[in-house]
Each structure stands twice: as structure tokens, then as C-alpha cells.
Structure 1
Amino acid sequence: MAERVVFADTEKAIVDFLAAELAAVSDIAEVVTQVPDIRPPRMVRVTRDDRRARLDREDREGRRGAHLILDRPRMVFECTDDSGTAAGLASLVRSIITAAAPGYVGATWCDAVEDAGLENDTDPATDRPRYVFVADMYVRGETLA
């Protein structure tokens, strides 16, 4: 019988980790997975979107490779700031996330982070500045006994 591997909730682990790291540098940005009804003036929305194309072997051939203990969530960080410094917030978030590996992101071990880029993506609904940072994170699962 094959080993059973479970993975932690990556979104929650990153939200908690990023909120603590931003607080450590006295940044007031709120880190969320869903935009609240009353939108905060400075915010980072964290989502997992594995459907975004990676343009590598995994997407071309549908293979994950031999390392089934690893998960590779594609994380999307939408950074907004009503004072006009969304680019600065995105740059800060990018530096925190890319420096996180190798190491723990909360209780989850992260082997590596691949930076997939930063994009100026003005919010079409509100016309507010928004920068989107995308990263692939190689995280380890735990085997079930």
C-alpha cells in the first residue's frame, strides 16, 4: 500500500506567517483570504490558484514527479493600498515570501519558493491600484501512520 501524505492548509499558514512578519516591521496591512465587507485601506489577499499555468513539465505533461511528499501550491498575493503605495507593499511581501525558504512558514516546512513575477493589475471594479505577486512554494506534507 502506498504511503498517505497530507498537506497543511497552505493559505492559512501563509496568512498567519505573513501577518506576523508584516507586524514585525510595523506594517499595518491586513492579511486576508477573502476581502471583508468593509475593505481595509491597506491589504494583502492571499489565495491558492493552482490553475494558473506554470508552463513547465507538470502543466505540459500532467506529471508531478517522483517527490510525492512535496506539494507545490501556486500562491497569489494581491496587494492594495488606498494611499497609493501598493507597489511598495507588494515589494515588501515579495521579499518576505522569497526569504521564507528554506524554513518554516508557520508549522509547515517550505523547501523552496519560485518567484513567478509581479504585475501591476489595477482593480477593474474599483479602479484602485493593485499589484499581484505570484509564487510557487514547495511545501512538505506529513505521512500518515
Structure 2
Amino acid sequence: MASRPVIVMPDAVAVVGDYLRSALAAAGEAVPVVSRIPTPRPKAFVRLERLGGFSPTPVTDRARLDVHAWAPSEYQAHDLCALVRGVLGAIPGVRGGVTVYSVTEVGGPMWLPDSESGQPRYAFAAEIHMRGRVLDTPKSA
């Protein structure tokens, strides 16, 4: 009996984070893109957080990501969020060796001031559909 291949899903936060760093810098907005809030906090930054998702097929993952944009003012936070939202729409393709099929917004931008720091923040949610990779496993005898 043939064994099924082992499929490993990509780290969606890492794939999207690498893409956004490059895309934001190319758009003239080179801000940190992180998975955890840095200490000390930069004046402006973007945080990605995976909040679940699902595998629609045995070889793909649809990661749900919350995307938060902090900046010195409400208007700057809005504009940074809008820029991230725009460039994220162009992510389909091969990114860092990972095939990204699509991005679907599941929650539009919302004003979400940071309750701990008081720093202005906007956020939105998206699902990123990407392909896993087959894990090379030794063949059994």
C-alpha cells in the first residue's frame, strides 16, 4: 500500500511579512512589519497575527490574518492601513518559494486605537490562500 505524502503548510505570517516589507519599501513606506509588538515601539509599524483559518484541500491552507497598522496620528494610521491593504491585494504569485493563490478580505479597515499605548491604529482581516509543500520523507522498505 502506498503511503500518502506529508504536506507541510507554510508560515503565512512569515510569507506575508516578507512580502509586505518589500512591497511597502518599494512604495516608499519602509516600516517594520512584525508578528509581535516591538519594545520600544516604532512611531509606525505593521503587525500580522494569524487567527486560524482552514485547509480547503489537502495541499492548501487559507490562513486568516489580522493586519494592524500603528502610526503617530489617526490619519497616518489610516493611510498606512490603506497602503498595506492595497499592496496585499497584489500578493498572488510565488512569494519566497511559496505559491500564493489569492487574498480575500474578510473584515474591512476599522479604527482600533491601542488601549494599552493610546497609539492610533487601524486594522483589517484577510485570508491568504497558499499551497503547502510535500515533505521529503524516506521511503519505507
Instruction: State the TM-score, normalized to the length of structure 1.
Output: 0.83
Q: Count matched residues.
A: 132
Q: Which residue of 2 aligns with 1:54?
A: none
Deviation at 1:2, TM superposition (A): 2.2
Q: What is the distance in 2 between the residues matched to 1:93 and 1:17? A: 11
Equivalence for 1:25: 27
Flag structure 2 segments of 5+ consecutive residues without an equivalent.
Answer: 137-141
Amino acid aligned to 2:21: A
CA distances 1:8-61 after superposition (whole Å, capped 9, x unpaired)? 22211211110011111111321111111110001000111117xxxxxx7xxx
CA contact (8 A) 1:41 1:82 kept: yes
Contact 1:28/1:42 (<8 A) preserved: no
Q: Does 1:36 align with 2:26?
A: no
**CA distance in 1 between partners of 2:126 and 2:96 (Å):** 17
Match of 1:126 in 2: 117
Cα-Cα RMSD = 1.6
Pair 144,28 (structure 1): closer, same or farther in 2 beyond 3 Å: closer
Contact 1:80 1:131 in 2 (8 A): yes
Secondary structure class of the residue paired with 1:127:
coil
* Counterpart-to-counterpart distance in 1, 2:16 and 2:128: 10
| Percent identity over paired residues | 29
Which 4+ residue blocks in structure 1 deviate beyond 4 angstroms?
none
The structure with more radius of gyration: 2
Cα distance in 1 between the residues matched to 2:121 and 2:43:
12
